[in-house]
């Protein structure tokens, strides 16, 4: 499984670089990441639990996207497609790819903490470094944060973020 984790690290590094540099990620990295994380999760917790976690995390993502669409539609007073200017398709696809790996509470924890980290990083870049950012590379930042978690897993025999409490025990 070391080889799979190394592939995941390479994919995450490529995603981070591409999103930071080009504000876009080649599409085939998302299914590759999804497949690799599915295999790792199924090996750690079993296929049934992996599918259940993915279904619940997917429901969470859908609720988030619908809530954002509803919010921006009310704000703009017309039906708004949030994938046109508010949320990139790559941001959505990365969340879907990561949803297969985390248990539900850990996924929500990662999602919230990664969004807070992205806000902090963006504030540092814009206010301290004085770099103007038109579009925040959300998927790239979240991929970089997940990259760190995979490195933590590689350095530990016991930590597996695909298991229930490993994420919260780590933090």
Structure confidence at residue 89 (pLDDT): 94
**Could you tell me if 37 and 8 are in contact, meaning their C-beta atoms sit under 8 angstroms apart?**
yes
39-48 pLDDT per residue, tens:
999 999 999 9
Neighbours of 78 (CB within 10 A): 8
Burial of 48 (0-12, 13-18, 19+ CB in 10 A): exposed
59-109 pLDDT per residue, tens:
999 999 999 999 999 999 999 999 988 899 999 999 999 999 999 999 999
Q: Please report, rounded to a whole number, the percentage of residues in the chain having pLDDT higher than 90.
A: 77
Round the CA-based radius of gyration of the chain to a whole number and report it: 16
User: Is the predicted pLDDT of residue 169 greater than 80, yes or no?
Assistant: no
Structure confidence at residue 171 (pLDDT): 64
117-129 pLDDT per residue, tens:
999 999 998 888 7
125-165 pLDDT per residue, tens:
888 878 888 889 999 999 999 999 999 999 988 888 888 76
Extract the tokens encoding 91.
């941001």
Extract the tokens encoding 83.
């994938």
- Mean pLDDT across the chain: 92
Structure confidence at residue 71 (pLDDT): 95
Q: What separation in angstroms does the CA of 91 have from each of 23, 30, 58, 140, 142?
A: 11, 10, 14, 8, 9
The 3-state DSSP class for residue 40 equals: helix
Structure confidence at residue 1 (pLDDT): 78
Structure confidence at residue 33 (pLDDT): 98
């Amino acid at each position: 499984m070391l080889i799979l984790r190394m592939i995941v690290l390479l994919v995450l590094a490529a995603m981070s670089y591409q999103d930071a540099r080009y504000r876009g990620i080649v599409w085939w990295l998302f299914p590759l990441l999804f497949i690799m994380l599915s295999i790792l999760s199924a090996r750690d917790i079993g296929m049934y639990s992996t599918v259940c976690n993915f279904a619940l995390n997917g429901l969470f993502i859908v609720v988030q996207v619908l809530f954002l669409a509803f919010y921006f539609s009310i704000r703009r007073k017309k039906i708004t497609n949030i994938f046109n200017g508010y949320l990139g398709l790559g941001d959505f696809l990365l969340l879907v790819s990561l949803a297969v790996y985390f248990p539900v509470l850990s996924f929500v924890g990662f999602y919230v903490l990664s969004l807070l980290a992205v806000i902090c990083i963006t504030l540092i870049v814009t206010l301290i470094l004085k770099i103007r950012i038109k579009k925040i590379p959300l998927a790239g930042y979240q991929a970089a944060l997940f990259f760190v978690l995979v490195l933590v897993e590689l350095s530990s025999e016991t930590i597996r973020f695909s298991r229930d409490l490993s994420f919260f025990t780590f933090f």
